[in-house]
Amino acid sequence: MSSKKNLSSIAKQYPKKHFVAASAVASFLIAIAILPTSEKVSASRTQLDLALPFDEGIAAPQEPSIQASNTPSEKSVNVNSVNYPLESTPAPQGIQFSKEYTVKNGDTLAVIFKKAGFSSRDVYHVAKVYEDATRLHPGETVSFAYNSDNTFKAFKHQKTQLISNVIEKQNDEYQIKEIVREPTVEFRFAQGTINSSLFLDAKEAGLDQTSIMNFANIFGWDIDFVQDLRPGDTFSLMYEELFLDGESIGTGNIVAAEFVNQGQKFQAIRHVDEHGRANYYTPEGKSMRKAFLRSPIDFARISSHFNLRRKHPVLNKIRAHKGTDYAAGRGTPIRTAGDGKVVFAGWKGGFGRCVIIQHGQGIQTLYAHMSKFNKKTKKGTRVSQGQVIGYVGSSGLASGPHLHYEFRVNGVHKNPVKVKLPEARPIEKKYRKDFLADADKWLAILENNQRSVLVARVD
Ligand SMILES: [Zn+2]
């Protein structure tokens, strides 16, 4: 069921840049702390023996099966239908890589090849079939294989822990192969109580920045982790830990998660379809996503609200403000709020550089004052939710760099902050039965773990 493409796309979810993005957001999250309380955090993370699968160490990932043991209820749960990559591409037979280098700042491919004892002709041929070889990053490892006469046999570029590319010379031809390794997966449980911020409390519960970021993204449609958080809110989740050759290489996906915000419980279960596309759904199979992003830029401050009787800051007279203004630095990426088609991309009077997107259900969104458009943003092109369409600027009638954002339903302007956003499509019919069964199992596992931690604390 799982194709090579699927495997590769899953493996690519764990590149290094992921962590950089997460840390930027993490530093943002850390900057925002909600009302401090004197009570100490009750965050906790269970140890291996607490209802975790694969007690015997590394288990085969083919059949993720969970034994929730050692819990007060002795309830055990099997999970058989979670999708994981099943095949890994075998390493090219018989290549012995004998020299390994860690790329340092300022290293070029030519320098590294020279150190390995190869000529600039080898560099040329390798770079020709493998462009990425010319864009090595410090910290990455490359290795070489030699023929018996010490001539070039193969070059390996370890891109991430899971992905490497091998360029092999055979009969004067250079051939490239991508090798994707498949991590083994164990499941972890974590939970905590909000005391200061999601970032700090989740960190205390043992989660890394990527997982915290992913967690916030899952619930980001329902919960504003800046405005809505209250001390006493709780979170819990089951997530993957990935292993290669018995060593942990970091966390994988969150498979089930719960957040109780001001007494209201939100739960999400991950589902991967046959094309490898992952989404989170409520236990009833409704999408956690909405068909529209609430805001087209990340973490920007609202500088002016939707207001039909606003005094215009530049014109200095009463003029309806039919959108929301987000103050942000010039060049900040602007994302399309939903899937749709660009119906306008150009200069539009006081709006300056402006993009209008037509979505389904009679909805149009408008983005104004851009400094520039994304090259792909042209009239008639299709865009998908979250795609960058342009960059913040102050073109047209604007007092400073900001995004003016409008949301229109059948031509009527709505307040983008308050408008009820249509839901994204629920789980597809053909997956529904399996999904509901999966959801039940994962929720039972979550609940079991929550309970056993509680009992452990009381004891
Ligand atoms: Zn505005």
> Which candidate, 374, 375, 388, 379, places its Cα nearest to that of 357?
379
Is residue 199 domain-shared with residue 285, that is, in the same domain? yes
| Residue at which a domain ends, from 180, 211, 229 | 180
Q: What is the pLDDT of residue 76?
A: 32
**Could you give the residue ranges of the DSSP H alpha helices within 48-157?**
109-116, 120-129
Q: What is the DSSP letter of 299?
A: T
Q: pTM above the 0.85 mark?
A: no
Helix 16-31 / helix 209-219 crossing angle, nearest 10 deg = 70
Of 122, 148, 180, the domain-final residue: 180
Same domain, 174 and 198: no
Residue 278 has φ and ψ, to the nearest 5°, of: -100, 145
Classify residue 371: in a domain, yes or no.
Answer: yes
Task: Sheet with 44-45: list strands edge to edge.
Answer: 44-45, 184-193, 234-244, 247-261, 264-272, 278-281
Residues 20 and 43 in one domain: yes
Q: Are residues 72 and 171 located together in one domain of the fold? A: no
User: Distance from the CA of 357 to the center of ligand 1, in angstroms?
Assistant: 17
Has residue 58 been placed in a domain? yes
What are the pLDDT tens digits along the chain (459 aa)?
333 333 333 334 443 333 333 333 433 344 333 333 333 333 333 332 222 232 222 333 333 333 333 333 323 333 333 333 333 444 455 688 988 899 998 888 889 999 999 988 999 999 988 888 778 888 899 999 999 998 999 999 998 888 999 999 988 899 999 999 899 999 999 999 999 899 999 999 999 999 999 999 899 888 888 778 899 999 999 999 999 989 999 999 999 999 999 999 999 999 999 998 899 999 999 999 989 988 898 767 899 899 888 777 777 778 889 999 999 999 999 999 999 999 999 999 999 999 999 998 899 999 999 999 999 999 999 999 989 999 999 999 998 999 999 999 999 999 999 999 888 899 999 999 999 999 999 999 999 999 887 666 665
**Ligand 1 centre from 401 Cα, in Å?**
11
- Identify whether residues 282 and 309 lie together within a single domain: no
Are both 191 and 285 inside the same structural domain? yes
CATH number, domain of 329, equals 2.70.70.10
315: left (phi over 0), alpha (psi -120 to 50) or beta: alpha
Q: Residue 397 C-alpha to ligand 1 middle, in angstroms?
A: 9
- By C-alpha distance, which of 393, 377, 396, 372 is closest to 326? 393
How many angstroms does the Cα of residue 326 sit away from the middle of ligand 1? 8
Residue 344 CA to ligand 1 center (angstroms) comes to 18
Cα of 32 from ligand 1 centre, angstroms: 26
Considering the domain architecture, whether residues 74 and 220 belong to the same structural domain is answered as: yes
CA 313–ligand 1 middle distance (angstroms): 10
The pLDDT assigned to 60 comes to 32
For residues 345 and 325, give the distance between their C-alpha atoms in angstroms, rounded to a whole number: 19
- Read off the tokens for 150: 């010490």
Give the chain's domain count. Answer: 3
> Could you tell me the distance, in angstroms and rounded to a whole number, from the CA of residue 321 to the centre of ligand 1?
6
In 198-292, beta strands by DSSP E? 234-244, 247-261, 264-272, 278-281
Domain assignment present for residue 316? The answer is yes
Q: How close is the Cα of 417 to the center of ligand 1, in Å?
A: 13
CATH code, domain carrying 79: 3.10.450.350
Ligand 1 centroid to Cα of residue 373, in Å, is 18
Per-residue CA distances from 139 to 12, 101, 251, 342 (Å): 18, 9, 20, 41
Using alpha carbons only, what angle is made at residue 210 by residues 385 and 52, rounded to the nearest 5 degrees?
115
Sign of the CA dihedral with 122 first, then 123, 129, and 130 last: positive
Q: Which residue has the tokens 């079939």?
A: 129
> How many angstroms is it from 206 CA to the middle of ligand 1?
42
pLDDT at residue number 316: 74
Domain assignment of residue 160, given as a range: 99-180
Q: Are residues 309 and 274 in the same domain?
A: no
Residues 435, 439, 442: CA angle, nearest 5 degrees: 135
Domain assignment of residue 422, yes or no: no
Q: Are 329 and 314 in contact (CB under 8 A)?
A: no
Kindly state whether residues 337 and 210 are assigned to the same domain: no
CB atoms within 10 A of CB 125: 18
Statement to judge: residues 350 and 379 lie in one domain? yes
